[in-house]
Amino acid sequence: MKKTMVYLDEEAHEGLRKLAFENNTSIAELVRQAVRLVYGEDIEDIRDMEAELARYKAQPDTAVELGEYLRHRKAHVSA
């Protein structure tokens, strides 16, 4: 886990403080949950892209032309 500093306006901080108290958790945990909820899928897409890029760099001859990929994808979606 990495440490990050975030500045919140007074209203947001007070709201999070109350919510954290009501849920017996911390403001930091609420922020982590919000980030996962809002950006989780994007983060997974980035990880997937990085993994695909690493595979390509390791074996560039396995690359597929875009048109071929789209035809293959369309055939599987239609099936």
Instruction: Check residue 79 and give its pLDDT.
Output: 63
Look at residue 39 in the predicted model and tell me its pLDDT: 86
Distance CA 16, CA 73 (A): 44
Whole-number Å distance between alpha carbons of 26 and 14: 12
For the entire predicted model, the pTM comes to 0.58
* pLDDT tens, N- to C-terminus, the chain (79 residues): 999 999 999 999 999 999 999 999 999 999 999 998 888 888 888 888 888 888 889 988 888 888 888 888 888 877 6
Domain residue extents for the chain: 10-78
Residue for token pair 């108290």: 21
H/E/C letters for each residue in 2-55? CCCCCCCCHHHHHHHHHHHHHCCCCHHHHHHHHHHHHHHHHHHHHHHHHHHHHH
Write down the pLDDT at residue 60.
86
